[in-house]
Homo-oligomer: A and B are copies of this chain.
Amino acid sequence: MSRCILFSGGPLSDCDRVRFEVEPGDFVIACDAGCKTAAQFDVRPDLAVGDFDSLDGPVPEGIPVHKVPAEKDDTDTMLGLRIGLERGFREFLLVGGFGGRLDHTVANLQALGWLCRQGASGQIVSNRNRAWAVRCGTLTLPQLDGWHLSVFAWDGPCHGVTFEGLQYPLRDAKMIPSLPVGVSNEFIAESARITVVDGTLLVIASEE
């Protein structure tokens, strides 16, 4: 299934060890200063979006530009996600969404929850942290050796939360966003399964 790959404007030093392939059919969006991140990965974006308040210099020649006013409700990353959805993509990979301003990091994590509500799914990847959201369903993750896995109720209470393949299992539990009790779990099998019957979970893998 083709993906929409977004490059955000987070620091390059936070995502320069991320490995991924751009496959034929994938659509690549550079969000504002994400143009620099894309160049770092030697990837030519299909579109550059944003108010371009944080990109020093012009968008590289030949890349279509979707420019918006600086005074907008959406972040540049949200704008990129909306465009990807409009173009029919339901799977998103966001490179470089962490490590810069904390407010942008939190906005990117909330955007993962928003994607779930649009019937889509997303992943944010950086060198030492990765994040996913899952809504009323199951997220299956391959074992990440030496990484911790933490789970948070994300946009409201979550019911029927079950962890499988993790050191501290959970079965049909309730989690709420104002009590972080799912931090620092560990993989103990080839894959982990995180299920939520009702609600949205944020799942973060962090390297020690």
Residues of chain A having any CB pair with chain B under 8 Å: 71, 73-75, 78, 98, 101-107, 109-111, 113-114, 116-117, 128-129, 131, 148, 150, 152, 154-157, 168, 176-181, 183-184, 200, 202, 204-208
Contacts and interface: CB of A to CB of B under 8 A. Distances in A.
Contact of A184 (B103, B114, B184, B207): B103
B204 A168 contact: no
B103 A204 contact: yes
Summarize A's interface: helix, strand, loop or mixed. Answer: mixed
A178 B102 contact: no
Contact of A179 (B104, B114, B131, B156): B114
Contact of A155 (B109, B178, B205): B178
Given A71-B168, A101-B206, A155-B156, A180 B106 contact: yes
A180 B117 contact: no
16 contacts: A75-B183, A75-B184, A98-B102, A102-B105, A102-B204, A103-B150, A103-B205, A103-B206, A106-B150, A106-B202, A107-B150, A110-B179, A110-B180, A113-B177, A116-B178, A154-B178
A207 to B, nearest CB: 8
A40 B102 CA distance: 23
